[in-house]
Structure formats: C-alpha cells, structure tokens
Amino acid sequence: MRRAIFPGTFDPFTIGHSSVVSRALTFIDEIVIGIGINENKNTYFPLEKREQMIRDYYRNEPRIIVQSYDCLTIDFARQVDASLIIRGIRTVKDFEYEETIADINRKLTGIETILLFTEPELTCVSSTTVRELLQYGKDISMFIPEGMEIRD
C-alpha cells in the first residue's frame, strides 16, 4: 500500500487543497492529511476545529486520515509510515521553496516529495487570503470545497 502525507496548516482547508487531495488519490492508496502545529502562525480556527472540519468533509472517503502533528514533517511521515509527501504549488516562488525542502527531506530520510501544480483557475486561492476574507466577514463559499462546513 502506498501511503502519503499531505502536510499543511489548512487554516482553512480550501478548494485548492481539495483539488490536490483528489488528484493525489488517483495514484496514492491512502493520504494522511497532516495538520502541522506551528506556534509562529496566528491561525483563525483552533486546531481541533480544523481537524473536525476536514474529517467531516472526508467522512465518506476511507482512504483519507486526518491527524495533527507538532514535529518535523519528515518525522511525522515516519510516524504514520508514509513513503511520500504530497505538496501543491501555485507559483514559481512556491516551487523554489518546496524544491529546497524536498531536497533536504530526501537527503535526511529518503522520503520523496511529489509536487502537484495547482489547476490554473485555482492559483489565486490561498488559505491566507481566505482567512483575511473571513476576518472581514466576507463570504468565502467559492473558495472552500462544496459541502465543507466552516464553523467559527
């Protein structure tokens, strides 16, 4: 069985994230959506709410596991017996950052990273932008997966 992790803060989980997961499921048997705990980030949603929203969204997909972690991503990958890391990239800047991290992860552990390019119509969608819209009371329904319940 081929298991991968899809790490991120997911604050909130967007249509871009959902797209990466659905595309990765075409060649991965199981995906652990790993919600990284980063004390340096000011999150909008508490960790427990993010976990529950994503679990509820994927409740009918047995190949998805949602779990939080507070260690290095490569250590988390080892903990859950994942052989791959899945990442989505929107821009050249994202690519350069992800390439560096992927190289380091591979050198340290041998774990490979698969980069999935964002679909062109989703390149403008980022958790940061969606979070800012939320903070100003704007409707974010077009940026989150259909059927996902966003709860404050």
Q: Give residues with Cβ within 8 angstroms of 86, minimum separation 6.
A: 4, 5, 6, 20, 24, 28, 31, 113, 114, 116
* 26 assigned to a ligand binding site: no
Ligand-binding site membership of 89 (annotated): yes
**50 known member of a binding site:** no
Pick the catalytic residue from 2, 22, 41, 141. Answer: 41
Question: pTM for this one?
Answer: 0.94
Token digits for 57? 């969204």
Show me where the domains of the chain are located.
1-134
Q: Would residue 107 show up in a list of annotated catalytic residues for this protein? A: no
Give the pLDDT confidence of 86-113 residue by residue, as tens digits: 999 999 999 999 999 999 999 999 999 9
Taking only the tens place, the pLDDT of each residue in 40-59 is: 878 999 999 999 999 999 99
CATH placement of domain 1-134: 3.40.50.620
pLDDT surpasses 90 at 17 = yes
The answer to whether residue 68 is catalytic is no
